Amino acid sequence: MNRTSASGWLPRLLGAALLLALLMLLGTTRLAAQPHAPRPTRAYTRSAHLMGSHFTFTAVSDDDSLAWQALRAGLRETQRIDHLFSYWDSTSQVVKINRLAGIRPVVVDQEVYDLIERTLKISQLSGGAFDITFASSDKIYQFDRQDHARLPDSATVRNSVRRIGWQKVQLDVATHSVYLPEKGMRINLAGILQGYGVRRAEQLMKQMGIAGGLINGSGDVYCWGKQADGSAWRIAIGDPARPHSVSSWLTVSDLAVVTAGNYEQYFTVAGKYYGHIINPHTGYPATGLRSVTVICPDVELADALDDAVFVLGPAEGLAMINRLKGVDATVITDDGQTLVSKGMQLNPYHSAAPVGAPVTAAKP
């Protein structure tokens, strides 16, 4: 009887064990089939001192490795451009062009040739308000934030800009050469270089798979995609009259917001501000504006246009912006008034008066 009981108990035990193993296998399979929890999307940031300014690179991603790789690539690309176009680096092609002014043309990389060619087109567009040969001027001002007794005499000022003239720059498309025909002529691409660096870094990061990001090159901002929480980017515009405060703000995506101001490098005469942006036609510092912000899809173009608007002044500068498709601007005048172009959608902390079109600015 014990044998009979044992023979009946053993198959039942083996059956139960097989059933348990089968259930465990099914459970393991179900667990393996469960997808991994999605990695959180976050913003990764890296900063560096480039082109004499503070740069911040931000990548929005759910992939740590990709984000850091893209940030390093964007930074290295900006460093490469800084070296290639530097006004100070003795090995740069721009320095070589300046050194051989009045002597012979200089064959340059296609990239250098193309950027210089684009600057000359912007000079033509702005009537010479933007001019990379501004570097040919004599240094007759000291922008030390101090009150000066007087401006230099008119003869000194006129003489200081005698070599300036974008029309003088000679490009040879067949040889990719650049020639400055007068000794003492110089070019300096500082007015567009940060924007170009931001544009190239942004393009590279996008190609690597970064769907959202922001690059800020000391006021030259380009943002694309969305923030980590899915919202659009909000860009603040500083108030020249109140340092470290905000005058207005914009909600943007896939756009450049570039701001230039004369409230950091300046001097005063009898209480009047004279900023570091020089009118290449007159030799005098551009007056009438404290801040210019240009908004458009091309950060390189925006970087050049803000200087042009500064030189042209509020009325003529905004009139130029109003003629350009897809470009908007807001300016702050010497007396603190905020003006906007006809298509500008601004969120100011005080009222803004549109120039050149019957558009009312948004209320705070």
Q: pLDDT tens, 196-231?
A: 999 999 999 999 999 999 999 999 999 999 999 999
Asked if the model's pLDDT at residue 74 lies above 60, the reply is yes
Q: Is residue 222 part of a domain?
A: yes
Averaged pLDDT for residues 317-323 = 97
Q: Is residue 32 part of a domain?
A: no
Which of the two residues, 247 and 111, has the higher pLDDT score? 111
Domain total of the chain: 1
Q: What pLDDT was estimated at residue 36? A: 61
Q: Is residue 36 part of a domain?
A: no
- Residue 130's DSSP bridge partners are none
Least Cα distance to 203 among 61, 113, 298 occurs for 298
- Structural domain range at position 197: 42-89+132-153+185-354
Asked if the model's pLDDT at residue 21 lies above 70, the reply is no
Q: What pLDDT was estimated at residue 262? A: 82
Q: Is residue 360 part of a domain?
A: no
Rg of the chain (C-alpha set): 30
Q: What pLDDT was estimated at residue 359? A: 30
pTM for this entry: 0.84
Q: Is residue 307 part of a domain?
A: yes
Q: Is residue 115 part of a domain?
A: no
Asked if the model's pLDDT at residue 14 lies above 60, the reply is no
pLDDT digits 0-9 by tens, 243-281:
778 888 899 999 999 999 887 889 999 988 899 999 999
Q: Is residue 302 part of a domain?
A: yes
| Residue 356 burial (CB count, 10 A) | 16
pLDDT category at 350 given cuts 50, 70, 90 is low
CA 145 – CA 147 distance, rounded (Å): 7
CA 237 – CA 145 distance, rounded (Å): 22
Q: Is residue 330 part of a domain?
A: yes
Is there a binding annotation on residue 128? Answer: no
- Residue 233's DSSP bridge partners are 252
- Residue 252 sits in a domain whose CATH number is 3.10.520.10
Asked if the model's pLDDT at residue 357 lies above 60, the reply is no
Which of the two residues, 18 and 327, has the higher pLDDT score? 327
- Angle, helices 299-312 vs 314-322, to 10°: value is 140
DSSP 224-279: ES--TTSPPEEEEEEETTEEEEEEEEEEESSEEEEEEESSSSEEEETTEEEES-B-
pLDDT category at 1 given cuts 50, 70, 90 is very low
Is there a binding annotation on residue 191? Answer: yes
Which of the two residues, 336 and 166, has the higher pLDDT score? 166
Q: What pLDDT was estimated at residue 33? A: 47
Asked if the model's pLDDT at residue 362 lies above 90, the reply is no
Averaged pLDDT for residues 45-52 = 96
Q: What pLDDT was estimated at residue 29? A: 45
Averaged pLDDT for residues 308-327 = 97
Distance of CA 234 to the CA centre of its chain: 15
Q: What pLDDT was estimated at residue 4? A: 39
CA 348 – CA 354 distance, rounded (Å): 12
